[in-house]
Amino acid sequence: MQEGGYAPHCDYFICEHPHKAARLMGFEVVEDETEDSMFYSQSLDVLNPAKAIREALEKEANVDKPKICEVLGVEVGEPFSIDGYPTDYGMVQVCEDGKIRRVISSAEFPFAQDGEVGHKIGSNALYYLLNHPDRIIRKPRFTQQEVESAKIISVLFPEATHIERLRGSKVLGITGAEDGWIADIESSLFPEIKSGQSVTLDQIIGGAE
């Protein structure tokens, strides 16, 4: 059995022997004449064995996940930004304690390490997210070709820190923390960067699929 108490071969056993699997998990099994009407009960509730086992495993996997993750549809530690909110928090994430905090980048704070978390977002920003979960913009997952392009840009433009696409436009450019907009680049180079998004070169280079 693998770490965590569950192994892939369990799927085969559950499918082939649903009643035995249910009994092993402490359920009372009630058998009927047909395969489709096989059920078991726990606390007087009659359920489908395979479905109940699957739900029990899913519940166990999510036991430590903060409720806010389920509400927003994100994972703990998954970076995302908030589109359309007046305050630009940059990238944020849900932490293990259920609080949403800023993700710090070394481009903004030279003495910090990428991935560190800072202050939590304000209550108004949280209400905004709860009312507009569609405004969550997940961190792009870059292809190897995009990673190679970012590496070339970092060599040609040592002062560059970000690749940014202007809001409401297809224009894509290279920006620096101190120099601002450095140069326009071919708009098709980084298709994962959407309108209004700004991503650090370090995030692109470290974000290959």
Among candidate residues 119, 138, 157, the one where a domain is terminated = 138
Residues 119 and 161 in one domain: no
In a domain, 189, yes or no: yes
- Per-residue pLDDT, 128: 94
3-state secondary structure of 133: helix
Question: What is the pTM for the complete model shown?
Answer: 0.45
pLDDT digits (tens, 9 = 90+) for 149-198: 999 999 999 999 999 998 888 899 999 877 789 999 998 999 888 888 88
Among candidate residues 44, 61, 78, the one where a domain is terminated = 61
In a domain, 134, yes or no: yes
Q: Provide CB contacts within 8 A for 181, sequence distance 6+.
A: 164, 173, 174, 175
Residues 78 and 118 in one domain: yes
Structural domains in the chain (count): 3
In a domain, 171, yes or no: yes
Q: In terms of residue numbers, what domain contains 55?
A: 9-61
Residues 53 and 73 in one domain: no
Q: Which residue has the higher pLDDT, 15 or 102?
A: 102
In a domain, 3, yes or no: no
- Written as one string, the DSSP assignment of 85-108 is -SS---SEEE-TTS-EEEEP-TTT
- Per-residue pLDDT, 178: 79
Q: Is the pLDDT of residue 43 over 50?
A: no
Residues 46 and 83 in one domain: no
Q: Which contiguous run of DSSP H or E holds residue 155?
A: helix 144-156
Copy the structure tokens of residue 159.
């002062």
Calculate the alpha carbon distances from 112 to 43, 47, 108, 131, 142 in Å: 53, 52, 8, 32, 24
Cα–Cα dist 203/179, whole Å: 19
- Per-residue pLDDT, 148: 93
In a domain, 116, yes or no: yes
In a domain, 164, yes or no: yes
